[in-house]
Amino acid sequence: MSTATVDRVLNDRDGVRGKTRDRVLAIANRLGYFVQGADAASQDVRVDFVLPAGTNSFMTALGQHLLEEAATRPDVRARLHLIEGFDANKLAQKLYELRGQTQAVGLVGLDHPQVRDAIMALRDSGVHVSTLVSDIPISARLGYVGIDNRAAGRLAALLLGRFLPQHTERKVAVFVGSLAYRGHEEREMGFRSLLSEEFPHLRIAHILEIGDDRDRAFAVTQELLRNEPPHAIYNIGAGNQGIARALKEARPAEARPAQARPAEARLTEAWPNEARSNQAASAHRIVFVGHDLTEATRRLLLDRTMDAVIDQNPRVEAREIVKLLVAAVKGAPEPSYLPRLQVIFRENIPEP
């Protein structure tokens, strides 16, 4: 920018567009340059994001998008904190530590008394807090950015109900990261509800908690296939790669087609009798539905290990929560936003 433009802004004179004025004031503030008459709208905003650590590919992508979105705004300084995903004590401790260190916090958190108390303590210290992906519906939080998780669970049930044969009893295994995540609990409730309403012939035979860990998902799926193979799997959270690995290893080589076959054939094909004796009862292809389009689930859709992925767009969620938190700090109203659900099949995988 020209010296004259900067001079007009610093001396609060007319002749400068609002967007340009905001940029100059934000940079001046970042450099520590005192600007007469600068108000909260022109100051840098300190934002912290708290996400679960681990092997969850979706959370890894979400963290990257949060930092990238914050970096596009000259008035935002952002930090990312990764906490053991299912430890309410560690999560609450981190939230308490952020008092006095930040102006706004976005978190993916457990719906737990310790966490709720920490959110209220942040609110009381003047920090704006918004939940992300999984809600904690208390008055202390500013808003929620994420999908309707109960609707997501109902959608998964509808997909399995349409994939599997009608009016024939079938067993379904449900994999859960943790029901301490309200989002996972809501998905399970929605899934169970729609099965009861429209597909009573589909029975939930197992609910397996895997902590969103792909290695545990692999071990649990192996044991399931040995003892009581289901006709379908719904994975509520992360761990798709572990489930898929077990399914692939269990399928006899001669049952792995070199080229794609129609969906009808895939859903009814029988495994040969030479399969492992303990898995002889699973003489069918297991329908597999999960969440979140990542590089891993893209590959699993392409090789037909997964049949459908229910996606929420982490880039959109990152954009919306940054907008929500920054607006709150600056005293501007910004409504919460519920991203749309999208079902991804092999034939409509979007470009990365």
- For 253-280, the pLDDT digits (tens) are 545 554 444 444 444 443 333 334 344 3
Using CA atoms, how far residue 7 sits from 16, 17, 28, 211, 304, in Å, is 10, 13, 12, 56, 62
The size of the chain, in residues, is 352
* The pLDDT of residue 162 is above 70: yes
**pLDDT for 33:** 58
Sort strands 128-132 and 104-107 into parallel, antiparallel or unpaired: parallel
* Whole-number pLDDT of residue 279: 45
Q: To the nearest whole percent, how much of the chain has pLDDT over 70? A: 86
- Give ∠ CA 262-168-252 in degrees, rounded to 5: 50
Position 276 scores a pLDDT of 42
Q: 49 and 79 in contact (C-beta within 8 Å)?
A: yes
30 pLDDT band, cuts 50/70/90, is low
pTM (two decimals): 0.79
Tokens of 347: 């034939």
What pLDDT is attached to residue 132?
96
| Residue-level pLDDT at 26 | 66
- SS3 annotation, 213-250: CHHHHHHHHHHHHHHCCCCEEEECCCCHHHHHHHHHHH
* pLDDT tens by residue, 177-221: 988 899 999 999 999 999 999 999 999 999 999 999 999 999 999
Q: Contact 275/256 with Cβ under 8 angstroms?
A: no
Q: Using the predicted structure, report yes or no on whether residue 55 has a pLDDT greater than 60.
A: yes
- 36-54 b/e (C-beta count within 10 Å ≥ 16 → b): eebeeebbbbbbbbbbbeb
| Mean confidence (pLDDT) of the chain | 87
Statement: residue 35 has pLDDT above 90: no
| Average pLDDT rounded to a whole number, residues 118-133 | 95
DSSP letter for each residue of 130-143: EEESS----TTS-E
User: Of residues 139 and 47, which shows the higher confidence score?
Assistant: 47
Give pLDDT, residue 253.
57
- Whether residue 329 contacts residue 311, with contact meaning beta carbons closer than 8 Å, is answered with no
With a cut of 80, say whether residue 135 has pLDDT above it: yes
Find, among 199, 235, 231, the residue nearest to 220 by Cα: 235
Percent of all residues in the chain with a pLDDT value above 90, rounded to a whole number: 70
Running DSSP on this structure, what letter comes out for residue 156? H
Q: Could you report the per-residue pLDDT of 285-342, keeping only the tens digit for each?
A: 899 999 999 999 999 999 999 999 999 999 999 999 999 999 999 988 787 778 899 9
What is the number of helices (H) and of strands (E) in the chain?
12, 11
Reported as a pLDDT band with limits 50, 70 and 90, residue 84 is confident
